[in-house]
Amino acid sequence: MSLPSAPPAEEDSIIRSPELPFVSSIVGGLFAGRAVVVSGMVLPGFASDRKKFDIDLCCGLLIDGDHMDNKALHFNPRFEAKAGWFSGPADDKLVINSFVSGGWGAEERFDNPFKEGEPFQLRILVLEKYFKISAGGKHVCDFPHRVPVETIRTISIKGNIRVDYVEFQPPFFLPSYEKMYNCSHPICLCQTKCLINHSKCVLYCENFQIGIDASGKPTLVAPTPRQEVITQIDKPNIPFVLPLPMGGFVSPQSARFTITPFLSAERFTMNLMSKNEFLFHFRVDMPNPAQKIKPAVVRNSSKNGVQWQTEERTFASFPFSKGITHDVVFTAYGKSVTVDVDGAPFVKFVYRDGDDPINIDAITVKGDVLVHRFVHKG
């Protein structure tokens, strides 16, 4: 199997906020050790007529129709929980298949790990004989290769999801020794040879483990599934502060706030902090017709602890009501955080220049609001 001698540039390996349906070539191709990561959110039931989504790894550009090219992997979660006149029989399973030489293969069905209205991160790791598929850091299934992975050329995504980014993660390029150099950094797991620079080496060593085969050569070993840590706090006092461990607020972390604004509420905030700096300030101004105060949701960040940056105020409709309980979810992505309210996508905030979510060390809540429950998943 031939491998490229260098990884694609970052702009070729990360595609941010693509519109669906989406088709893209895979720069550098796929091979054992490379992974495809898709991060986003399954739309709530009322937001889409389509009750499924497809992520296909295709062997050409003809992705639909009577003469479409081979599909090495057809990944198809379904959300049709009830039978209907137009929707057909109920089907809420994850279906995986391939399309080879003009025909579909045998379906493989699994419990669906995705839920409508909830964020997700899917990782498809290419190994020598099969795809290892995980969602939210948990192993879902393995799917044996039915066509050679080096024939995969494109990725296709469509259906009832919002995609925040697609990332192609290069592995160690083990056979290209002439392009490598020794890495002696103490935290590097491979301890043999790394490509390009040590920062890349550390990144890949954290995602892949390197073993030694019977002939003494380095080989890829499937990673141990990541263990999710959940912190739940019921009815915390306001103001509320949750210190975060080192590593910040990064994907696939999320924070869920179950809140009720006071009947007399004027304003409340939820914030992602880095020491005294606001990396993400989410402020809700409740309406007051008597004082001619209009509802607002302001997003911002600060510099030097006191200097506010440019406010972001646009949104579709104001989702909060006094005395009514709401669920607010912050979901971490690469350079942004999304906010969903009551299961529906609300806004997306891109971190400002110079702000890195890895430096976030606390989540805070202040103002005229009762927090029934706070849940941090990390």
pLDDT higher than threshold 50 for residue 34: yes
In the numeric block, the tokens 């349906």 are attached to 21
Q: Whose structure tokens read 């971490």? A: 332
Q: Find out if CATH 2.60.120.200 is the number for domain 10-170.
A: yes
In the predicted model, what is the mean pLDDT of residues 164-186?
A: 52
**186 Cβ contact partners less than 8 Å away, ≥ 6 residues apart:** none
Confidence band for 269, pLDDT divided at 50, 70 and 90: very high
Q: What is the pLDDT of residue 214?
A: 64
Distances (CA, A) of 240 to 131, 279, 363: 43, 17, 8
pLDDT of residue 316: 85
Mean of pLDDT values over 300-323: 92
Pairwise CA distance, residues 300 & 278, whole Å: 8
Using CB atoms within 10 Å of the CB of residue 375, give its burial: 0 to 12 exposed, 13 to 18 middle, 19+ buried.
middle
Tokens of 188: 């590097």
The pLDDT of residue 44: 85
pTM of the model: 0.50
> What is the mean pLDDT of the segment spanning 52-60?
96
pLDDT, residue 183, reads 44
Domain ranges in the chain are 10-170, 180-225, 230-377
Domain 230-377: CATH architecture, name and number where available: Sandwich (2.60)
Mean pLDDT score, 195-204 = 38
Instruction: Write out the chain in H/E/C secondary structure.
Output: CCCCCCCCCHHHHEEECCCCCEEEECCCCCCCCCEEEEEEEECCHHHCCCCEEEEEEECCCCCCCCCCCCEEEEEEEECECCCECCCECCECEEEEEEEECCEECCCEEEECCCCCCCEEEEEEEECCCEEEEEECCEEEEEEECCCCHHHCCEEEEEECEEEEEEEEECCCCCCCHHHEEECCCCCCCCCCEEECCHHHHHHHHHHCEEEECCCCCEEEECCCCCCCCEEEEECCCCCEEEECCCCCCCCCCEEEEEEEECCCCCEEEEEEEECCEEEEEEEEECCEHHHCECCEEEEECEECCCEECCCECCCCCCCCCCCCCEEEEEEECCCEEEEEECCEEEEEEECCCCCCHHHCCEEEEEECEEEEEEEEEC
- 179 pLDDT above the threshold of 50: no
Residue 142 has pLDDT above 90, yes or no: yes
The owner of tokens 């979810």 is: 329
Which band of pLDDT confidence, cut at 50, 70 and 90, is reported for residue 17?
confident
- Average pLDDT on 132-160 reads 94
pLDDT average, residue stretch 347-356: 92
How many other C-beta atoms can be found within 10 angstroms of the C-beta atom of residue 111?
Answer: 9
Which residues on adjacent β-strands are paired with residue 88?
84
Highest mean pLDDT among 117-121, 193-197, 318-322: 318-322
Which comes out higher in pLDDT, residue 128 or 261?
Answer: 261
- pLDDT of residue 218 exceeding 70, the answer is no
pLDDT, residue 88, reads 58
**Cα 283 to Cα 267: distance, rounded to the nearest angstrom:** 7
| pLDDT bucket at 193, cuts 50 / 70 / 90 | very low
Q: In angstroms, rounded to a whole number, what is the distance separating the alpha carbons of residues 221 and 153?
A: 25
Kindly state the average pLDDT of the residues 267-283: 97
Residue 225: band (very low, low, confident or very high) from pLDDT cuts 50, 70, 90? low
Structure tokens, 295? 């509802």
Determine what percent of the chain is predicted with pLDDT higher than 70: 79
Residue 189 contacts by C-beta under 8 Å, 6 or more apart in sequence? 205, 206, 209, 210
The reported pLDDT for the residue numbered 27 is: 84
